């Protein structure tokens, strides 16, 4: 009798944990079946934008992999890819990233051929830290970012991004204009070797930047 209240509390806690995991599995299933196919279409489009910069032998690091749509597209096309993120929101176990603290990657300098940041930096509270790590660990960095030309386009981009990602209160919206990103690359000592801005759904702009550490400039 003396131990019954403690046992009851433990049973309630365990039931709560099991229910939480059940809901997480359900949410993952719904995301995989109903949402992930649309992200795969988006990943296919982005792959077409950057394919010319990828060689079959490249070791690719995707930083900030989210659901894993870009990982799947890269692997489907025969690329070797590893992924890191600050949390695992993948829809399948085989798309799960390795986790890191958002500050320092457990990778040696210039240890991978390409680091891919696909619409990731504007989700980071400190995008310059993430960019610095990408430049430290990779010989080439490919960035895809939402950019804007006017204040109203900036506000609309923020609103849609929050809606698509269900981040209404925690989203840092670290977006920058095309000129601001180019200035950032320059501050980080990176050379911009290719760039292109694409129109998306008529109202939006996504930019592709290919940058390298300036010390690599003679080797590319």
CATH code, domain with 108: 3.40.50.150
What is the per-residue pLDDT across 80-113, written as a single tens digit (0 to 9) for each? 999 999 999 999 999 999 999 999 999 999 999 9
7 belongs to a structural domain: no
What is the per-residue pLDDT across 117-168, written as a single tens digit (0 to 9) for each? 999 999 999 999 999 999 999 999 999 999 998 999 999 998 988 887 778 7
How many residues in the chain?
Answer: 220
pTM of the predicted model, to two decimals?
Answer: 0.85
4 belongs to a structural domain: no
What is the per-residue pLDDT across 181-208, written as a single tens digit (0 to 9) for each? 999 999 999 999 999 999 998 889 999 9
8 belongs to a structural domain: no
Q: Is the separation of the CB atoms in 26 and 18 below 8 Å? A: no
CA–CA separation, 8 vs 155, rounded Å?
51
10 belongs to a structural domain: no
- Which residue segment(s) compose the domain that 178 sits in? 38-219
Q: How confident is the model at residue 2 (pLDDT cuts 50, 70, 90)?
A: very low
19 belongs to a structural domain: no
Write out the H or E segment, with its range, that includes residue 161.
helix 151-165
Write out the H or E segment, with its range, that includes residue 198.
strand 190-200
What are the backbone angles phi and psi of residue 130, rounded to the nearest 5°? -65, -40
1 belongs to a structural domain: no
Looking at the structure of the chain, the number of domains it has is 1
21 belongs to a structural domain: no
102 belongs to a structural domain: yes
């Amino acid at each position: 009798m003396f131990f019954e209240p403690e046992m009851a509390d433990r049973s309630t806690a365990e039931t709560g944990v099991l229910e939480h995991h059940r809901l997480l599995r359900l949410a993952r299933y719904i995301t995989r079946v109903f949402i992930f196919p649309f992200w795969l279409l988006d990943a296919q489009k982005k792959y077409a934008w950057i394919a010319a910069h990828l060689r079959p032998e490249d070791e690719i690091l995707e930083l900030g992999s989210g659901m894993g749509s870009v990982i799947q597209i890269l692997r489907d096309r025969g690329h070797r890819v590893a992924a890191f993120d600050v949390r695992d929101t993948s829809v399948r176990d085989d798309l799960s990233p390795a986790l890191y603290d958002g500050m320092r990657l457990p990778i040696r300098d210039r240890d991978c051929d390409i680091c891919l940041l696909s619409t990731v930096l504007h989700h980071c509270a400190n995008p310059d830290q993430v960019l610095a790590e990408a430049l430290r660990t990779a010989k080439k960095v490919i960035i895809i970012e939402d950019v804007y030309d006017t204040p109203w386009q900036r506000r609309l981009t923020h609103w849609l991004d929050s809606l698509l990602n269900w981040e209404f209160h925690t989203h840092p919206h670290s977006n920058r204009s095309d000129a601001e990103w180019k200035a950032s690359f320059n501050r980080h000592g990176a050379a911009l070797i290719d760039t292109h801005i694409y129109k998306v759904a008529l109202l939006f702009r996504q930019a592709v930047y290919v940058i390298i550490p300036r010390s690599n400039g003679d080797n590319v």
